Structure 1
Amino acid sequence: MRRAAHVAIALVVTLASGAGLGACAQIPMSGPVRVGNADVEAQGDIALLPHGPGAGAAPNAIVSGFLGAAVAATTSPKEFQTAREFLTADAKWDPQESVRVVREAPMPEPFDRGIELEGTDTVEIVVRATTIATLDSVGAYTEVGTPRELGYRFTLVKVGGEWRISALDNGVLVPANLFANQYRATRLFFPASNNVKSLVPDLRWFPRRNWRTVAVEEMLAGPPEWLQGAAQSLVPEGTQLASPSVQGTDDEEAVAVRLSEEISDARADQRAVIAAQLSATFSEGAGRTIAVDLFSGTNRLSVPATDVDLPATIVQPMALKDDLLYLVENGRLEDFDMPVDLSGINPTALALSPAARPIVVRDGHDRIVNVSLDGGPLTLMTGSDLAAPSVDKFEATWTSGGSGELRVAMGEGTDEDPLEEVTLKPDWLSGRKVISVSVAPEGSRVAIVSEAPSGTQVQVAGIVRDADGTPADLASAISVGAPVADVEEARWAGLTTLALLTRNNEGTSGVWTAGVGGLAGTGGQSRQLPGLTDVEQLAAGVTEQGILVVTKGGDLEHEETGVWQPFAEDVDLVAFPG
């Protein structure tokens, strides 16, 4: 009997490329779920129609065909059926386990079938690709900090004279230029733990073929680990989809979401919020508000109207110039009617509360001061090398503490609102120095930049608060913008978007946008904004006003269609609320 031989072959992944069709979309912003601006693309679905294996196909053609069919499955009505035609009947493969987004495929090494396959009935093929991001089984996208080329092995055997794949890794390899066409950036929304009417967004990526169905399933599963304790689920335990799919509508009709009988255990006010969560998800990119009808099996449930809030920066940004505060409005500085006393203070950072007060500054780098009190400046915190402060919607001021610490000062420091300071020490910050902190507008998420000898890192975590709204802990963190080096500041610039300021060893700055869960509109990858290399300070908000920067020369600039436009001179500091 002839012994099976093994042959290793290098193979390129070749797939038809599809250009991304990024565009602005519409989502609700506050109050009842309604149409507003968003950064999720309204891209039409483009189906890739895969073909099964051809008769007499060589091993490299079988693997190439399989990879193409696996990618196409997310838009193909046949799903993974065609891809499985390239496998043996007993091959084990779970395509849902993970997705690896690969930069590009290398050229294949020459393969002489007549020489290398002679006398062979088992072949091993190695596909080499550079992974730049991963997508896990629940649609969570993570950029790879240091992309590197890896080898993915496929074992092929002959079945009835035809080559088929008998062993392979789980998951799917998707070229970056096809990812946004195959997977849809989809925001889920969960009620905040301390306010069910405040919805906290969580960006996921789902197969375009059935994104609504998967979105409902993941919403029913509850908040992810990084929002545990910061957000909650109102869905009764055990509730599942009672229909095989959730279909969209092309007219003004509501989307029917049919759930198992457990949903009947939810109170009417809870059902109203659940419907609002789904409406917010379905409405993104639709250009209109999409209503949702909830069903328990075949019985339509009564769902009262309710108002919910999505994160939004409401108060105007402010600029500090010549020791005076100005409102930044419509591309110009407007007088602010509340004087501030900055005598004896060296302002190096400015922060505003979404509730209008307090207004705080960092004095030098070792004192945080409330400058919005009638009685004059009041010291909130002192310490060594404090991070620029962030003031949340609960009027709490955040900055850095010791190694691995955050400090939070609650209250304005008056007799009516005395100071209370708490220190947070999440395990994932251990051994790192916090250099930037920014609380999201809804007060349930915080973006932190920290540094260690290995470099800087941007992370976002849910804020766990007690019954009074005081921060008690941070949930586990997720990494954001991992490929972006030398980050010194992060600010919220969208529902799930951060603006990042970088500075290298030569002092050259850069401005980036990065997504919490991937950047919608770019296929997930962080993006550098061109044009400026001398930025001293950055400000951003969840608003249409966009990113503001102050240059080393004191110019206050904002971006318009990719071009930075100066509109004020001799500005010292600028800040959005938060």
Structure 2
Amino acid sequence: MTARTTQRTHRFGPRRMRGRLVAVVAAATLALAGCVSIPDAGPVEEGDGQVPDTNPVLPFAEGPQVGDSPTAIVSGFLTASAAGFASNFSVAREYLTPEASNEWDPSTRVLVFDSGALTPDWDEATNAIQYSVPVAAEVDSAGVLVESTDGTRVPITFQVVENSYGEYRISELDDGAVIAQANFDHLFLPVPLAFASMDTTTIVPDLRWLPQNNGPTWAARELLAGPSPWLASAVKTGFPAGAALEVDSVVVTDGIAAVQLNTESAGTPSQRSLAQEQLTRTLTTLPGVVAVTVTVGGVALGGDGSVALNPAPIPDGDAAAIVASRLGLWDGTQMWVAPDPEGFLPDSASHVARSYGGPTAAFLVNDSVLAASSAIRGGIESLEPMTPELAPPENAMEYTTLYSGNRLVGPSYDRQGWVWTAETSNNGQLVAVRPSGDQADIDARWLEGRTVQAVAVSRDGTRVVVLSREGGQQLAEVAAVVRTESGVPLTLGSPLSVGVDVTTAVDAEWINDLSFAILGEAQEEVPSSLWIATVGGETVLESATVGAKSVTARQGESSLTTVGEDGSVRTRVGTGWEEILIEVDDLEYAG
């Protein structure tokens, strides 16, 4: 077993975060950080969207003391503003002048401290105090989190004046708040807002980071406001324009969250059905919520019952494989291969992919032809066990050419049966094809002139990960897939940058509804880098295996599997990797 070394730990959410707790100059801020411990509850169960109840210890903040210096006032404010996410910011406002208190909006943005000391720069002549804040992430007013690259620092400035009692107060400051990582972990929840795929069958999560205090209210409010702009063109919502909470509070009693909407929230019967599904799917991910009731103007929301959102499909336990010049299936214990009559694959066959709807496979031939075969369509029952003495078939395999191009990247299936690929030297386009002969040329103009390395469609079919390089820079991006209601892909939305600090990468694979793995370029005698990136969340750097050329997963990090240049297949076991197969050219779960 190869030991795994973790080079960068989790920074946000219910798992442990990167770096030591940042110390603010004032002892008060150190006290705030010290009074909150990192939760020891288990992590979110992968794939079900549940958020654990961490039972947070609420930070305690004191108001300003008589005779406080300007720096003590500012550091006390930083402590109190962080604590305000567990209350109403009333203590934090005591540090401000009345005018500044009326104008300050703490919800505009939240800067999450990264590692490094915060040292104030105090100009005694003007009583201006500035900090250079090492930022791990920034959360906007809608709860959208954007990670920062290592070394990012943001300046924040406070202007302090003396009031009529000779006490210092803050008179000028930027909107928003600054919070240490450990406190952010305790006071904010990662909440997957539930939207619908364009065919109104599948949940599409939109991850937000919302204060635990009044969490159901925050979540309902943001759900009604709609999806993140980058995702909006690929999803549906049941809430019409003008929909809002009638009472700005969602009350939870005996596990039942009561949501009261205004009269403008009542759309068509099918919209009301979708709205009910969205609220139920979203709020029941919160601690203590098991059911949701929704009223519009005091009347039950109702609907026609036409919408039932389901989670995205999870690949089954059989992974497609290329082994001994044959197509095969790996069931986790035994390798099964196509019998002799199916024939042998071309020597150049590579980059196998498996469909969701059944064990059909696509692959590349000479990196320029996207092909498909039904050799494994019958599943394990139609295959034979792989044995060392098995000779190659005498006849060549028959396959269907789906698309011909110039240096294509490995294919990716979506749940609607489309097979995606792209030319490495890209002209601003991805291609999706079906065995029936349908072809969709997908507009992605932002890729023009780049070198594309990998394409992977999310399990709900609404997002696609694209690895590419431009001017020597490695890029990992997620874009919304705009489709017709019948599922035909049309175009990609504007890309969202994910996977901060990713260096040279070669492969990407979704591991659940929100996260995907990025495999770094193989290095001699050194384990490849492996990043776990979450859309709207953190990026974690770990180590894969030496010589890994591709990565796949069934469900969650524990199912991560790599294929090496030497034909070895290794899977995650505990904190390491264990070799489970040898002499395998490629292996991929559905997707």
TM-score bracket, normalised by the shorter chain, equals 0.7 to 0.9
Q: Secondary structure at the match of 1:532?
A: strand
1:64 CA displacement: 0.7
Gap change, CA 1:283 and 1:363, over 3 Å in 2 = same
Q: Secondary structure at the match of 1:73?
A: helix
Is 58-67 or 275-284 further displaced after alignment?
Answer: 275-284
1:140 maps to 144
Gap change, CA 1:266 and 1:562, over 3 Å in 2 = farther
1:56 CA displacement: 0.8
Output aligned runs, 1:55-134, within 5 Å: 55-75=66-86, 77=87, 79-91=88-100, 92-106=103-117, 108=119, 122-134=126-138
1:184 maps to 189
1:332 maps to 333
- 1:414-463 CA deviation, whole Å, 9 max, x = no partner? xxx2x233322324323322211001112111111111124111111111
8 Å CA contact 1:197, 1:273 repeated in 2 = no
Alignment counterpart, residue 451 of structure 2, candidates 414, 428, 433:
433
Alignment counterpart, residue 526 of structure 1, candidates 531, 539, 543:
539
Gap change, CA 1:72 and 1:404, over 3 Å in 2 = farther
Runs (5+) with no aligned partner, structure 1: 1-9, 30-36, 519-524
2:489 maps to 471
- Report the aligned-residue RMSD: 2.7
2:501 maps to 483
1:103 CA displacement: 0.7
Q: Which amino acid aligns with 2:297?
A: G
Is 152-161 or 497-506 further displaced after alignment?
Answer: 497-506
8 Å CA contact 1:184, 1:208 repeated in 2 = yes
Gap change, CA 1:381 and 1:411, over 3 Å in 2 = same
CA–CA distance in structure 2, aligned partners of residues 85 and 334 of structure 1: 68
- 1:120-157 CA deviation, whole Å, 9 max, x = no partner? 6x401111221121111111111123432333211101
8 Å CA contact 1:399, 1:406 repeated in 2 = no
Q: Secondary structure at the match of 1:457?
A: strand
2:159 is the alignment partner of 1:155: yes
8 Å CA contact 2:220, 2:283 repeated in 1 = no
Gap change, CA 1:303 and 1:232, over 3 Å in 2 = closer
1:45 maps to 56
Gap change, CA 1:472 and 1:302, over 3 Å in 2 = closer
1:295 maps to 295
1:281 CA displacement: 1.8
8 Å CA contact 1:396, 1:408 repeated in 2 = no
8 Å CA contact 1:26, 1:286 repeated in 2 = no
2:16 is the alignment partner of 1:16: no
Runs (5+) with no aligned partner, structure 2: 1-23, 378-396
1:383 maps to 405
Alignment counterpart, residue 219 of structure 1, candidates 223, 227, 234:
223
Is 175-184 or 432-441 further displaced after alignment?
Answer: 175-184
Gap change, CA 1:420 and 1:44, over 3 Å in 2 = same
8 Å CA contact 1:501, 1:511 repeated in 2 = yes
Q: Secondary structure at the match of 2:99?
A: coil
2:65 maps to 54
| Identity %, equivalent residues | 27
Alignment counterpart, residue 493 of structure 1, candidates 496, 500, 511:
511
- 1:81-116 CA deviation, whole Å, 9 max, x = no partner? 1111111111232211111122135164798xxxx8
2:329 is the alignment partner of 1:348: no
Q: Secondary structure at the match of 1:485?
A: coil
- 1:378-429 CA deviation, whole Å, 9 max, x = no partner? 22222232111101122211111342533323221xxxx2x23332232432
Output aligned runs, 1:316-327, within 5 Å: 316=317, 317-327=319-329
CA–CA distance in structure 1, aligned partners of residues 544 and 426 of structure 2: 35
Q: Secondary structure at the match of 1:196?
A: coil
Gap change, CA 1:153 and 1:409, over 3 Å in 2 = closer
1:545 CA displacement: 6.2
Q: Secondary structure at the match of 1:236?
A: coil
Is 319-328 or 558-567 further displaced after alignment?
Answer: 319-328
Is 532-541 or 386-395 further displaced after alignment?
Answer: 532-541
- 1:21-56 CA deviation, whole Å, 9 max, x = no partner? 4523458x7xxxxxxx44744422331121111111
Q: Secondary structure at the match of 1:204?
A: strand
8 Å CA contact 1:341, 1:377 repeated in 2 = no
Q: Secondary structure at the match of 1:365?
A: coil
Query: TM-score scaled by structure 2?
Result: 0.84
Q: Which amino acid aligns with 1:366?
A: S
Q: Which amino acid aligns with 1:453?
A: G
CA–CA distance in structure 1, aligned partners of residues 83 and 95 of structure 2: 14
8 Å CA contact 2:354, 2:413 repeated in 1 = yes
8 Å CA contact 1:26, 1:284 repeated in 2 = no
8 Å CA contact 2:430, 2:443 repeated in 1 = no
- 1:139-183 CA deviation, whole Å, 9 max, x = no partner? 111112343233321110111211111111221122223221121
CA–CA distance in structure 2, aligned partners of residues 549 and 223 of structure 1: 34
Count how many residue pairs are aligned between Structure 1 and Structure 2: 535
Q: Secondary structure at the match of 1:197?
A: coil
2:569 maps to 556
2:460 maps to 442
CA–CA distance in structure 1, aligned partners of residues 433 and 496 of structure 2: 26
- 1:350-379 CA deviation, whole Å, 9 max, x = no partner? 111112264111223222111227982122
8 Å CA contact 1:25, 1:285 repeated in 2 = no
Is 372-381 or 174-183 further displaced after alignment?
Answer: 372-381
8 Å CA contact 2:121, 2:129 repeated in 1 = no
CA–CA distance in structure 1, aligned partners of residues 240 and 339 of structure 2: 49
- 1:281-328 CA deviation, whole Å, 9 max, x = no partner? 2232649x8221111132234367663211132433223221334433
8 Å CA contact 1:398, 1:406 repeated in 2 = no
8 Å CA contact 1:234, 1:274 repeated in 2 = yes
2:579 is the alignment partner of 1:566: yes
CA–CA distance in structure 2, aligned partners of residues 285 and 548 of structure 1: 31
8 Å CA contact 1:50, 1:68 repeated in 2 = yes
8 Å CA contact 2:63, 2:95 repeated in 1 = yes
8 Å CA contact 2:234, 2:462 repeated in 1 = yes
